[in-house]
Chain A
Amino acid sequence: MSTIAPALQPPPKPQPARVPTDWTTTSMQGRIRRRYRSERRFRLLGAGAVLLSFAFLVFLLISMLGQGLRGFTQTELRLPMDFPAARLALDPATLAGPNARAALAAVDLEGATARAADRAYGTGGYKLLSDGAWLSVRSAIQADPQILTRRADIWVPTSTVIDLAAKGDADAEAEAGYRLLDARKAVRTSFSMAFLTGSDSTDPTLVGIWGALKGSLLTMFVTLILAFPIGVLSALYLEEYAARNRWTDLIEVSINNLAAVPSIIFGLLGLAVFLNFLDFPRSAPIVGGLTLALMTMPVIVIAGRNAIKSVPPSIRDAALGIGASKVQVVFHHVLPLALPGILTGTIIGMARALGETAPLLMIGMRAFIASPPGGLADPATVLPVQIFLWSDEVSRGFVEKTSAAIIVLLVFLLAMNGIAIYLRNRFERRW
């Protein structure tokens, strides 16, 4: 267009003569050296911090594995049982039928086992056995009733003292006893499924982690199905729908405060509301899950809001601009794009809930529970509480079981984090 003329420019004003900066003076050189030094110093500090935290991690892993792996093994003693001589009032035929349990309960297997030990290893030999050794004898009879007609060697768990001696962690007297047995090829130490499938017990050679693990799984399940949807919907509503005013400010401050409340307070809240007021069953995963959901929800809301905030507004504009409704914008665009962040926050919250002990103590999940929970309302305990309980036990045998339980808890945590990373990578998209 002819009328678009170049703008009129005033002539340059006269300027004072320019003195060039001297970049080679000693003060300049000194400044350069100081700059390089501070760069180096910062890099060293950073690398040192990383190394230090890595060293802590390695120390934790090594000490845990060193202590804990022994907890997965169990020393067993070969017990020669002469069933015909023991005169157990048992007929192999009755053991095949449905009355097997009752028939087995009627005879004194415990006494027979102790007598067999005395015969094989001298008077007092029963002390070499775990209190639950007769359970192995019972299992052997159940597995093969014909065993009652002959002599047989049965491997039964040893007492804690022998078990520790086998793992080189007992006094000289026990060590000597163990070496004697070892010389007779009467003991073996092997990986024991019993630890992974059993529940709590008063005898460290008989304890298992499955009861607590299942309790944790059920509790986490309740926490997740409550905290995730409620947390995500709250975050979506607060970010996408709620007007900015004093009330939403108040809610935001409250949620932030709630995330920082010490967990024992949530335990007291759970005790007051779920047990005393609503009369829910004590020690149950459903109450534990509800309590931990209260604790996890603010974390999910905060992480969710940050993830939703980081979805670029241009995506919302684009969807609105072609006539998407608010709900369509939120569920077709905002939520899918925010999901990786929301999931990361959720897993962090869940991991915290998984490791939580204090609030669960308040609602009675520290009870001694000798069988795994069958449902959400059954008495149960959870991994961290189980660890806490075992670490409090007097018997030396519980030390390695505690470490073994910690390993199980850490593996559980690692698995959860692994799932989180997988989900995040799956849903992450490039813009």
Chain B
Amino acid sequence: MTETSLNDRADKQQAAHGGTLKMTARDVDVFYGTKQAIKNVSIDVTQENVTAFIGPSGCGKSTFLRTLNRMNDTVASARVTGDITLDGKDIYGADMDVVQLRARVGMVFQKPNPFPKSIYENVAYGPRIHGLASAKPDMDAIVEKSLRRAGLWEEVKDRLTDSGTALSGGQQQRLCIARAIAVDPEVILMDEPCSALDPIATAKIEELIHELRGRYAIVIVTHNMQQAARVSQKTAFFHLGTLVEYGDTSDIFTNPRQTRTKDYITGRYG
């Protein structure tokens, strides 16, 4: 597959579905030392849609997700080439502040990782370090709003001072989503957010993704194809570090153009 055909296709789909472009990636390569983990990936993330990255383990979908908010910077051997933009601005450019970028592009991780602090402090930490609230009532409002949006407020409103780590796994993950929402990001990246959760907690997170859609551009990595089908409007299929196919979720699942995609979603490998 040539890069022009991919770019053309991305542009065509862009036109066809009319989403507002939020993030774009063009010809992105990621290396860990000498090993190339991502090969020549170009993709668009739109404001209105949930974009799902699917693919077998080790195909590079998480690596690619982490380049979108430069979390790969923390890996000393990682090197990223190509262009990634947020609202048209190069996020790897010299004038991009990585701390601000990560506030604008929030992230939810595979394993729920609340801070070992109170529920309130977990949510308030982000706004506090970014100076989003100066007075206590403002902070209280942000915490309540974020917890409400994450669908956790009713469950924890009476025990905000309890440790965040004392919650159940599903609640912890929603707390992490609330924590990401609290700094008012524009994009939320989710790295297999349900892989450590039971089906009921998973259903709640998926419901939450539906509700958050539109307000935030959402990118979700999942190894669960049914989940991708349920929550996303756009799906990208990664295999061995390349983007094999990217399109509307309904097209990918009912009418895949590539044999590899078809084999994967019908369960022949992965």
Give A contacts to B, CB under 8 Å. 1-7, 243-244, 312, 314-325, 328, 332-333, 337, 429-431
**B266 and A321 form a contact (CB under 8 A):** no
Known: A3-B253, A322-B107, A322-B129; 5 extra A-B contacts, CB below 8 A, are A5-B267, A7-B267, A315-B115, A321-B106, A323-B101
**B129 and A324 form a contact (CB under 8 A):** yes
B126 at the interface (CB under 8 A from A): yes
Stretch in B33-41, B68-76, B79-87 with 4+ CB within 8 Å of A: B68-76
B126: A residues at CB distance < 8 A: 322-324
Cβ < 8 Å to A, chain B residues 175-189: 176, 179-180, 182-183
Interface string of B109-121 (1 = CB under 8 A from A): 1010111100000
**A322 and B180 form a contact (CB under 8 A):** yes
Which one of A6, A244, A322 contacts B106 once the chains associate, using CB atoms below 8 Å?
A322
B153 at the interface (CB under 8 A from A): no
**A322 and B254 form a contact (CB under 8 A):** no
Contact A317/B113 with A323-B130, A323-B183, A430-B163 known, Cβ cut-off 8 Å: yes
A-B contact pairs, 24 of them (CB 8 A): A1-B265, A4-B226, A5-B267, A7-B267, A243-B76, A315-B115, A317-B107, A318-B109, A319-B115, A320-B71, A320-B74, A320-B102, A321-B71, A321-B106, A322-B106, A322-B180, A323-B103, A323-B126, A323-B130, A324-B126, A324-B129, A328-B129, A431-B116, A431-B165
**B100 and A3 form a contact (CB under 8 A):** no
Give chain A nearest CB distance to B203 CB in angstroms: 17
Interface residues of A: mostly helix, strand, loop or mixed? loop
Chain B residue with the shortest CB-CB distance to A328: B129
Give chain B nearest CB distance to A239 CB in angstroms: 13
**Alpha-carbon gap, A312 to B176, bound state (A):** 16
Interface string of B231-268 (1 = CB under 8 A from A): 00000000000000000000001100000000001111
Interface string of B124-141 (1 = CB under 8 A from A): 011001100000000000
**B115 and A323 form a contact (CB under 8 A):** no
Give chain B nearest CB distance to A423 CB in angstroms: 17
B208: A residues at CB distance < 8 A: none
Interface string of B94-109 (1 = CB under 8 A from A): 0000011111001111
Which one of B109, B182, B225, B266 contacts A317 once the chains associate, using CB atoms below 8 Å?
B109
**B102 and A314 form a contact (CB under 8 A):** no
**A321 and B107 form a contact (CB under 8 A):** yes
A429: B residues at CB distance < 8 A: 116, 163
B167 at the interface (CB under 8 A from A): no
Chain B residue with the shortest CB-CB distance to A7: B267
B21 at the interface (CB under 8 A from A): no
Give chain A nearest CB distance to B224 CB in angstroms: 11
**B125 and A323 form a contact (CB under 8 A):** no
B201: A residues at CB distance < 8 A: none
Give chain A nearest CB distance to B184 CB in angstroms: 11
B197 at the interface (CB under 8 A from A): no
A4: B residues at CB distance < 8 A: 225-226, 253, 265-267
**Alpha-carbon gap, A416 to B217, bound state (A):** 55
A319: B residues at CB distance < 8 A: 115, 125
B106: A residues at CB distance < 8 A: 321-322
**A3 and B129 form a contact (CB under 8 A):** no
B160: A residues at CB distance < 8 A: none
**Alpha-carbon gap, A323 to B107, bound state (A):** 10
Residue from A315, A320, A321, A429 with most neighbouring chain B CB atoms (10 Å): A321
**Alpha-carbon gap, A205 to B101, bound state (A):** 74
A314: B residues at CB distance < 8 A: 109, 111, 113
**B254 and A1 form a contact (CB under 8 A):** yes
**A321 and B180 form a contact (CB under 8 A):** yes
Chain A residue with the shortest CB-CB distance to B269: A7
**Alpha-carbon gap, A243 to B111, bound state (A):** 27
